[in-house]
Amino acid sequence: MALRSIPSDVVVIGYGSLMSGLGLDPFGHLHLRAASRLALVNARRGFGKFSQHGDRFAMVLEAAQPGQPIEARLLATDTPVGDTPEAIGLLVQPADLSRLCEREGYSGGAIQRLREEAASKGLELAAFLWGVFADVAFDLGLFRQRLFKLVGYTSPHYVPHPIRLDDRRFAITFLAPGREGTGSERIVPVRVRTGTEALLTISEAWRRKPNSTQLSYFLACLLGGVHGICVTDLLQPLAEDAGLAQRLRTALVEEARREVPRFLSLSGLDHNAYWQGFGPPTQTLRRSGLEQFLRG
């Protein structure tokens, strides 16, 4: 199974544009040790945070049952699609983790200080964050306050958040703060400032931001389907928006043929590591729901 790590590595879970090479492209080359498909448990996602990278709404992930943690399950390449959202797990080294943090609007220096705090307690970063979260009984607001006290920093865009993979392993993702706050009363979440706390479907986001930047972001998320990551939860609302659906089909056909080579180039994975994480390309489009969508 993919995502076996050494102590300094961290599994970062991407549930939006990080699921594709197109989404990684503006960020630049990573040096991933592995990547894999994941199922998210107690989670729902949609568009809902005004991006710091352009006139568009970025993806938001929330707990389906507030007060309960989001968890993730590693999926084998032949595991059938379930009824929960799917994401990608990226096994990154410390330098790349800091770069990912900066991309998400969180300080790379702050994540390094959290890493040092974890090391002082003999823990990996993700396990340490999970312990802090569990210690406040999975209260999201209190968790963020604890992080702010530890490093004196937080972000209105995205904040690192722990996810349990199994009994022994943990990962981190980045959540966009809403009404529960950033951890500091002085730092107001972007979602609160802009009044976009609700999750928007792809069609609802398009009605508010019908521009090329938003369309490109949709593509970056949906191209995760090329790697077999199920994106049907994002595609289903398009049944009510034939115009947007056709625009996306046209663009996806063009981009899909470039996606695997682009992902390999930007992730640093070789073909063997890619197949271990995602399986053969002949199966991935069908499994993700993207093949059926492209057929119309």
Q: With 60 as the cut, is the pLDDT of residue 1 above it? A: no
Q: Are 52 and 93 in contact (CB under 8 A)?
A: no
The tally of domains found in the chain comes to: 1
Q: Note the pLDDT tens digit of each residue in 108-122.
A: 999 999 999 999 999
Domain around 162: 10-295
DSSP 21-37: HHHHTTT-----SEEEE
Q: Note the pLDDT tens digit of each residue in 252-295.
A: 999 999 999 999 999 999 999 999 999 987 789 999 999 999 99
Structure tokens at 164: 């349990």
DSSP 34-87: EEEEEEEESEEEEEEEE-TTSSSEEEEEEESSTTS--EEEE--TTPPP-SS-EE
Please check whether residue 2 lies inside any domain of the structure: no
Residue with the two structure tokens 């049907």: 232
Q: Note the pLDDT tens digit of each residue in 227-259.
A: 999 999 999 999 999 999 999 999 999 999 999
Q: Are 270 and 31 in contact (CB under 8 A)?
A: no
**Cβ-based neighbours of 243, under 8 Å, separated by 6 or more:** none
Please check whether residue 4 lies inside any domain of the structure: no
Predicted model pTM: 0.96
Please check whether residue 3 lies inside any domain of the structure: no
- 6 — pLDDT class (breaks 50, 70, 90): low
Q: Note the pLDDT tens digit of each residue in 47-88.
A: 999 999 999 999 999 999 999 999 999 998 888 888 899 999
Please check whether residue 147 lies inside any domain of the structure: yes
Note the pLDDT of residue 166: 87
Please check whether residue 245 lies inside any domain of the structure: yes
Please check whether residue 35 lies inside any domain of the structure: yes
Q: With 70 as the cut, is the pLDDT of residue 4 above it? A: no
